[in-house]
Amino acid sequence: MSDKRVLVTGGAGFIGSHLCKKLLEEGQKVICLDNYFTGSQENVSDLLQYPTFTQVHHDVTLPMNVEIDEIYNFACPASPVHYQYDPVKTTKTSVLGAMNILDLAHQSGAKILHASTSEVYGDPLIHPQQEEHWGNVNPIGIRACYDEGKRCAETLCFDYYRKYDVDVKVIRIFNTYGPNMHPQDGRVVSNFIVQALKGEDITIYGDGKQTRSFCYIDDLVNGIIRMMQTEKGFIGPVNLGNPGEFTILELAEKVVGLARSVSKIVFKPLPPDDPKQRQPDISLAKAKIGWVPEVCLDEGIERTIAYFKKVLI
């Protein structure tokens, strides 16, 4: 059993809940902090069996004081449906939340890993996306509360390292999927699977030729933990995602086939500022943390379909 005390903000969310479970399995003492806006008690209900697991209901936009050794900051709605619901709150969570968590790391001497996003690249000007790309983001668009909020949070991470010597790590997460996704979170994988299982039309926005790369949750969590274990001074940012590139239409057809669905594919107008391409260059992750994803899309989709079949019953 480890004496390390680990705080996971957004710990009851999709990614956070899987991370909490992995850390508990490794013998860590885990504090799961969440305000349950998008997180769910059900996501962490099976973790209550661990005596080293603690839940705290708290909003990161408010300061906190707890003795901690490591912090994983995942507190922010991450799907357009949720982060556009209250864009001002999203910006506060991204910026004020990051500042409060960085203050906590500074005060307690904790190492902190901050979860940023591939959305900092906006509609990228280079493909695949490398960490050196500064991005192409609309600062006043409907997605800017999330995109620019996350960009500012990265700025804070680097400034806290330079100004206060906080041991910071920054990852940029590309599209991730798997069990514990919210059925109505608006993300493309969950949307398609839910529609396919219900026999509803599969809704594609745009012509379906825009591309995405999809990483299974277990692969992502392994990369997150490996990044946290790197030496002080290596901040990143580091792309974490599966470099396999698929069009949205290919994904829809794959989901229909694997779900053995009778759903038809229909097309609707593309929302503003939706990026045309998204594919990570993971050369840095390979070189610095020895990480590559292992779960192929077909296998991951099958596992996720099995999860949603249980959830939708």
H helical segments located in the chain: 14-25, 41-44, 80-83, 87-108, 144-164, 188-198, 217-228, 248-258, 283-289, 297-311
**Residue among 215, 191, 180, 197 nearest 295 (CA):** 215
Closest-CA residue to 19 (of 190, 234, 228): 228
Asked if 124 contacts 174 with a C-beta cutoff of 8 angstroms, the reply is no
Report helix, strand or coil for 133.
Answer: coil
CA neighbor of 307 nearest in space, from 169, 211, 200, 190: 190
151, 98 Cβ separation under 8 angstroms: no
**Residue among 72, 83, 121, 146 flagged as catalytic:** 146
DSSP symbols for 203-243: EEESSS--EEE-EEHHHHHHHHHHHHTSPTT----EEES--
146 is catalytic: yes
| Cα–Cα distance for residue pair 30/23, rounded to 1 Å | 7
Catalytic positions, please? Answer: 146
